[in-house]
Each structure stands twice: as structure tokens, then as C-alpha cells.
């Protein structure tokens, strides 16, 4: 039994990465953890993307919610019904597998699932949706990614506006109709998964956020990066405040 003062526990999925000395590592960018713990007032545990060594159902009882973060890898096309050769890596198939099992196990138990960037795409795939891979540079779309020759920090200077759906979770929580968001993605939602409701769109109509409720559990995901320099932006902090409320079983709005 948790002490009365204990913070809710957020599970944050890891990625399979290779560190400088060539060693395999489980990794999460610290900025996701800092924003979640500070503005969501949560404790956090990292979930290894090693589905051959652990099962999602072994750990979900210990978690109050899950966050699927952004990362450089893409979801494998076979996960949403397309030929493998159509996709462009890098891929992280072990994360894909752990993610699918984790989303299913959490929602079966009525526990919240939140997503950012790749996490947004993952949740869409988990709900049966598909992805498009051309949003980084399609000539008829709003630019969703900065030029490839920029530095890492400059990538995160790239922003565009999004329109929040009236009376949606985000619009009611933020009290705003439009946001400028950090956009760093080459892929995005194509067909939206069953039961997902649009929360925000880019000027070109590309879906930028969605929500759902499954077995009483809120699902909320954004394609943008609210964790980036969250200390300077109340609207970015608000995403993680919603995460904390969800973990505490409080109404989001």
C-alpha cells in the first residue's frame, strides 16, 4: 500500500541506443523525465524495451500511468500493415513490441497512457491507425521539421501553430484556441486509430494531438515537444500537469 503522501508512479518507456563506446544501452532523454516529475508531480520508473526478457503485465500493477516519449527511431511499417522496405529507419523493433504490449496491458487495467512525438505515432498504431512518412518536407504541407543541416538545438527552434479543437481536452485545459509548438518530425498520423478523437491540427490539416478514454483511462498524445524548455512555457507545463492529474485519477478538465 502506498503511503498517503506518495506521488503517483509514471512508467517511461526506454529506447535501445548505442552509446559512444559501442555498448547497447536503455535510454530516455532526461528532459522528458524532468518535465514529467516537476510539472506532473510524479515519480518515474524507466521501462526497458526488452520484451524478450520481461512482460508488460509483470509491471503494470506497479504503475499509475505510462508515457511514451519521442526518440530518433521510427515505428516499423509492418506494425501498421505496410511493407518493410517502404519505411526509413532507424528502427527499434523491441521498443515497438514493448510499446504495443504496454499500451494493451495498461488500458485493460484502466490506467492512463500519454504520448509525445514517436509516442503519439505509437499510440495511433496501437489503436489500429496508420502513419504517413512525408510530413518533414512535403511541398504542399506546413514544414514539420527544420532543415537537415541544422544543429540539434536548432531543430527544436522550428515551430508552427496548431489549432486546438473547441471543447477538446487541450482547449479546455489551456483556455486557448491556438498554440505555437515545437515541431521535429518526419512522420505523422495518416489514418487515425479507432476511438481516437482529434485534439489539434496543423494549418495543413495534419493531426497534431488526439485523445480517448478506454475503460475509464484517459489517453492523450501530442505530435509536438512540450518537454522542450518547458520551464519557460506555461502551456508546455500544462501538458505534464494533465499527465499528473490523470495519474491521480482526477478529471483532466
Show which residues are catalytic. Answer: 117, 225, 227
In whole angstroms, give the CA distance from residue 208 to residue 214.
20
Which of these, 138, 141, 230, 214, lies nearest to 182 by C-alpha position?
A: 230
Helix extents (H) in 40-194 = 93-108, 118-126, 152-155, 169-174
Q: What is the CA radius of gyration of the chain?
A: 17
Q: Which residue has the cell 522496405?
A: 85
Parallel/antiparallel/unpaired status of strands 188-189 and 217-222: unpaired
In whole angstroms, give the CA distance from residue 227 to residue 230.
5
In whole angstroms, give the CA distance from residue 11 to residue 59.
9
In whole angstroms, give the CA distance from residue 215 to residue 187.
29
In whole angstroms, give the CA distance from residue 164 to residue 161.
10
Q: Which residue has the cell 489514418?
A: 191
Which of these, 219, 183, 182, lies nearest to 199 by C-alpha position?
A: 219
Residues in the chain: 253
In whole angstroms, give the CA distance from residue 186 to residue 54.
31
Amino acid at each position: 500500500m502506498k503511503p498517503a503522501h506518495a506521488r503517483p508512479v509514471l512508467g517511461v518507456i526506454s529506447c535501445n541506443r548505442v552509446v559512444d563506446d559501442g555498448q547497447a544501452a536503455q535510454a530516455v532523454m532526461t528532459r522528458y523525465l524532468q518535465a514529467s516529475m516537476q510539472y506532473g508531480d510524479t515519480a518515474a520508473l524507466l521501462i526497458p524495451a526488452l520484451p524478450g526478457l520481461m512482460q508488460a503485465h509483470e509491471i503494470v500493477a506497479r504503475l499509475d500511468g505510462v508515457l511514451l516519449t519521442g526518440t530518433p527511431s521510427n515505428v516499423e511499417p509492418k506494425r501498421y500493415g505496410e511493407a518493410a522496405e517502404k519505411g526509413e529507419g532507424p528502427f527499434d523493433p523491441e521498443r515497438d513490441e514493448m510499446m504495443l504490449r504496454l499500451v494493451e496491458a495498461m488500458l485493460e487495467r484502466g490506467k492512463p497512457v500519454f504520448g509525445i512525438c514517436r509516442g503519439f505515432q505509437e499510440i495511433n498504431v496501437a489503436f489500429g491507425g496508420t502513419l504517413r512518412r512525408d510530413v518533414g518536407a512535403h511541398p504542399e504541407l506546413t514544414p514539420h521539421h527544420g532543415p537537415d543541416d541544422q544543429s540539434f538545438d536548432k531543430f527544436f527552434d522550428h515551430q508552427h501553430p496548431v489549432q486546438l479543437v473547441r471543447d477538446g481536452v487541450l482547449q479546455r485545459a489551456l483556455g486557448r484556441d491556438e498554440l505555437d509548438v515545437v515541431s521535429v518530425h518526419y512522420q505523422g498520423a495518416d489514418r487515425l486509430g479507432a476511438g481516437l478523437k482529434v485534439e489539434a491540427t496543423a494549418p495543413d490539416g495534419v493531426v497534431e494531438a488526439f485523445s480517448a478514454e478506454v475503460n475509464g483511462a484517459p489517453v492523450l498524445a501530442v505530435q509536438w515537444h512540450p518537454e522542450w524548455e518547458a520551464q519557460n512555457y506555461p502551456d508546455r507545463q500544462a501538458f505534464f500537469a494533465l499527465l499528473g492529474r490523470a495519474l491521480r485519477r482526477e478529471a483532466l478538465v
